[in-house]
Structure 1
């Protein structure tokens, strides 16, 4: 990778860090989740989960308007970074004519995923957003758009997942040349697609907390390998970056599976749901890489029109790159400590 390309990536990382640097901000971007399941005729079990940090949770609440009544009061608990409430409701119309409202959604930077299952096997998957935090059920719920919902969920998870993006960025800084970059990103894609599919199919099951800790470790590891390059060392990871992408990609796939587990997968359309979500992840990843490539072109044009001597610009770029690598490694190290403390607490 040329010095100009490295400087371009450094600028992008600095911008990304300033925009997403707050751990609390990234945490808020996780979606809320509403599960409504009919287990008896006209009676539904409701589960509502919102992101939480410590004893603090997002100020989001669910309300029902129309022909519906509560059978019991909501019971809540904090666990695994989520606040979960559950209660039961009765709807003689099977929710037809009922409107569900997520109160407070318009004041947040997140959205709410909704999954509804009826006794006859009918399922509905949808998203409630700040611009439209309401949904009204009809007599015959339509399943149209569920593929779009899973696709958008995949795009959002990669683009709003700062740890996944930082891993992709340090991979870009580690590799040398576009051919190596293509092989490395392909290895990462293949690996996380495999573990995502195995997890959704129920063939493997790993708790999310240790997975998130190891994802942070993957960023620290690749950042340290970049420093090895600067010191003239050639480790196996530097010579074969696709091996790093392949190995850690398996773990990142388990992280993606955790996001998909939040909304669940229709057993009657498991292949389509998995495919749509994975395509969304890949689309988001390609959008991010395209943004990086566009920035490379822009910085190249700026440097070509600059009157600064190439040696001076190269020195500034090398220093900036080192500072950014240390910043990424330091941030990921903090995540690793924070997520490890959660495991042992």
Structure 2
């Protein structure tokens, strides 16, 4: 089965990590994969592995932008000749449908803000043969907004070992071996609410450090906000998240909403306890243990959880304990069954 993944960009986000993992593991379930994308550091790695990658400009929600992206995606369809298109998120689904009106199209819905759910459903009902979400809560929101049939395939990660040991990572960043570290891996965009995290960090005393891995439009404002705080390090976009997890003690995510964040799953796989906002997809993941849920937009409760875990290795060990969890092979088999069912029904 020839599968063309359509995604706006292939940078550091969770959807991008999922695409990279699915492409790498596709051969295990009989896929030949290609990617149509607006670029990003993962594109180079895919090309190095011999994966066909087609350049598609990011649509940016403008009619002209969508037209340019659709035209480029149409070229990718002509050249790769996929049996099916797998579009990641709503804008990529629109682009894919315009580019290939008669080919089967499955949308992976990673999530949108509450205010955008109704609009997303209206579009997905028109363009997608099947919609799959990464969490039960997201599926419920889509159904409530009028999307009748929604599949659920929980996210999973494609684990990789740390390449660099804890001491080496810390030395490169300039962090002493005995300093407790909280790590946040997230794009610096409004959804992730780094402002809440920085307000919480102002309530965490001592010599602990907060590592912020990621970049985005809010970075200059966040750097300005962090100047009055202790121990905040802006690491930029990183390709070594597994190594950062090895060197950190706790991870934290203060998002307003999430589908099922890959950063959270990566933290659990590395046995690092998570402090995260009590929002839909996060709540589902931590139902089996692995961390502490805090109320959304609550610097005080976030700070309390940070103080508790950063000050006590025993508390971290207890918080990190977890039962079960998804795996990459199960995810791939679920997607394979879904895509083949859609093909058989066309």
Same fold (TM over 0.5): no
Larger of the two Rg values belongs to structure: 1
Q: TM (normalized to structure 2)?
A: 0.25
Larger RCO (CA under 8 A, 6+ residues apart): 1
Q: TM-score scaled by structure 1?
A: 0.25
